[in-house]
A and B are shown apart, each in its own frame.
Chain A
Amino acid sequence: MAGTGKAHLRNGEALLRVEDLVVQFPVGRTGLVVNAVSGISLDVLKGETLGLVGESGCGKSTTGRAIMQLPRPNSGSVQFEGKELTAMAGDEMREARTRMQMIFQDPVSSLNPRRKVRDIVMEPLTIWDRGTKADRSKLVDRVLEEVGIDPQRASESQPHQFSGGQCQRISIARSLVLDPSLIICDEPVSALDVSVQAQVLNLLEDLKARYGLTMIFIAHDLAVVKNISDRVAVMYLGKICEVARSDDLYHEPAHHYTNVLLQSIPVPDPDVAVQRRAIEGEPPSPVLPPSGCRFHTRCPAAAARCSAEEPQLREIGDGHFVACHYPVHGGEAPVTVRSSGTAA
């Protein structure tokens, strides 16, 4: 199977290194599969924030969950802190999971509606029986204060008594008490009002600095992703299109799909907004993904080669990688001898 390449992986110590990750879901009992993630590779250095961006159904959330091994990927390797997660099982796996935490999109659904907020935040410590009761209490109160939730109120209230933004803060607090090294944020702000969104983004930046966290930030809004990330990977239909430092990605988008995403961001400026025109259509079904470059069905620059041969990630600038035969800049891809066929 033709992957999208690993040219963008860096040598040396990465906190997380994902190679050729494949995740498929069966469609009922039809025998068909949804190709949610089709062989992607990523690496995240310590202290870095990697943004994963793409439309819904591009596999970005699935990637995040597959890294946590929830559910386990069909194939590929996930190395975290030097250990291979896909080979782990049982208690070893449970232990390893505590080193990485996840924050979900729906702040309300991610908290058990029938428990007190303070108990929810305390739960990880109870599961692992960390410290004495007094230690736990102190730690939970401190973390709650850090995310801006009154511990007193948290001990008396259930999640539904808090607003969406506050619930997201509670989720963040819960993910921090085990002192993880990696946090995977799965669309943490897309359900929030813009004003609350800014609060949560700022909070994440503060906590990242304070706790020395490494983050994977998954979102569909490129403006949000760019704001918080050091490096951004653009995904489309289970493949990576482009990887670059976030400022480079905006200044010199190379993949046509990145361009589309940039164009779609609503700009709070009436003069700019009227000139824009949205891309037509929606992503094809991941059950039967297009041959060659998966974006060729919607790409404004698609040529014959695009439907026949799958592009590989290649470097077109310092730390800037693109998987496109005819990128916006960076020159045409050299013709490879490898035949591609349909990737599945």
Chain B
Amino acid sequence: MTAIITAPDHEVPATTELIAPKISRYKRMFPTVGVLLSWMFLLTLTFMAVFADYLPFIRSTQTVVKASGRSGVRFGFGPGFTAWFGTDTLGKDVFAKCIYGARVTLFVGVLATIIGLTIGGILGLAAGYFRGWVDRVVSILTDCLLALPPLLLAIILVFRLDDLKAKWSWISWLDRRWQITLTLGILAIAPLARIVRAQTLSLREREFVLAARSLGAKNGRIVVREILPNLIPTMMTVAFTGLGILIAAEGALAFLGLSVEIPTPTWGKLIDDNKNKIDVAWWAEIFPSLMLFLTVLAFSVIGDRLSRRFDIREAGV
């Protein structure tokens, strides 16, 4: 019953598993209600955002809502059958704006995470695996990135790039959406690189890496075959949790006025636009906030779920 040998056997379940059944296997196999709801929410939201133009119950964000002779202008409709989330001061459907806002928000969040994860992952992996001067260079780089004030970076990338876009045609394809994505992606690199580096450091000391080397495997093969598969669970977990944070950050930037071109809606912009009207029309403020809150929560719940799931499998290893 040595703790060194923690691998459960088919025939005999390892005692470690019996002693610490934090989550039973049943629970591990079937997601909890919260996770299920999170997935449902995110998938529905994504579906609606992608196909918003074709779905009959989502109005255009440009048309003023009119029904039974009344106009929706100046918060004409509260939440109800006509406009589910009510209308805003211009008479536009808040629900429609929320869905179209999700387009931008999800785009920015997902892409920023991918940028952060790819660059941060490669940097962290290289630093952790090769150590030495690579590690030192990456360390300096991540330290610099962490020292960068996020707001300053955002202002530079959003406003300065606007000027540069006018000057240099080769970056004219960059719209505000991309600028914000870049900002958030760059901000995500350093923390992700650090997490991946730490994980790689501990993995490279494991004996199966030494075994692979003694078999004559080259570095590339060791990284791809031995280390990367063991990093993926951590990266997935971090990606989901990070997504939530980045979406919230997008909202915060929009709230500060650093957002996409008018008239494209984003949640942050909706929250910002209606913040002073909460006593007149709570719905225009509350519903976008709720969407933001629920999305961040859903990503966190799934991230948490993933981390626990992979943790247990790691415990046997």
Q: Do chains A and B touch in the complex (CB under 8 A)?
A: yes
A: residues with CB less than 8 A from B are: 65, 68, 70, 94-95, 97-98, 100-102, 104-115, 123-124, 127-128, 153, 157, 159-167, 171, 174, 178, 191-193
- Per the bound structure, the CA–CA distance linking A164 and B1 in Å amounts to 10
Query: For chain B residues 273-317, which have a beta carbon within 8 Å of chain A?
Result: 313-314, 316-317
Q: Are A107 and B215 in contact (CB under 8 A)?
A: no
Given A94-B218, A112-B208, A112-B229, A167:B7 Cβ within 8 A: yes
Question: Residues of B contacting A101 with CB < 8 Å?
Answer: 214-215
Q: Are B214 and A70 in contact (CB under 8 A)?
A: yes
Nearest-CB distance from B13 to chain A (Å)? 11
Mark interface residues in B209-245 (1 if CB within 8 Å of A CB, else 0).
Answer: 0111111111001000110011000000000000000
B6, B210, B216, B313: the one within 8 Å of A128 (CB): B216
B5, B212, B221: the one within 8 Å of A191 (CB): B5
Nearest-CB distance from A21 to chain B (Å)? 18
Q: Does B8 contact A (CB under 8 A)?
A: yes
26 contacts between A and B (CB under 8 A): A70-B214, A97-B215, A101-B214, A101-B215, A102-B214, A104-B207, A105-B207, A106-B207, A107-B7, A108-B4, A108-B6, A110-B207, A112-B212, A112-B225, A112-B230, A113-B316, A114-B230, A115-B225, A160-B7, A161-B8, A163-B8, A164-B5, A167-B7, A171-B211, A174-B211, A174-B215
Cβ-Cβ contact count across A and B, 8 Å cutoff: 110
Q: Does B9 contact A (CB under 8 A)?
A: yes
- Per the bound structure, the CA–CA distance linking A109 and B2 in Å amounts to 14
Closest to B205 in A: A109
A95, A153, A193: the one within 8 Å of B216 (CB): A95
Q: Are A113 and B215 in contact (CB under 8 A)?
A: no
Q: Known pairs A108-B6, A113-B317, A163-B5. 16 more at Cβ < 8 A?
A: A65-B210, A102-B211, A107-B7, A109-B206, A109-B207, A111-B211, A113-B230, A115-B225, A123-B212, A123-B217, A124-B215, A127-B221, A160-B317, A162-B10, A163-B7, A166-B9
Nearest-CB distance from A288 to chain B (Å)? 26
Q: Does B12 contact A (CB under 8 A)?
A: yes
Question: Residues of B contacting A98 with CB < 8 Å?
Answer: 215-216
Instruction: Give the interface centre of A104, A114, A123, A174 by most chain B CB atoms within 10 Å.
Output: A114
Nearest-CB distance from B70 to chain A (Å)? 61
Question: Residues of A contacting B6 with CB < 8 Å?
Answer: 108
Nearest-CB distance from B229 to chain A (Å)? 4
Mark interface residues in B103-131 (1 if CB within 8 Å of A CB, else 0).
Answer: 00000000000000000000000000000
Q: Are B213 and A70 in contact (CB under 8 A)?
A: yes
Nearest-CB distance from A105 to chain B (Å)? 8
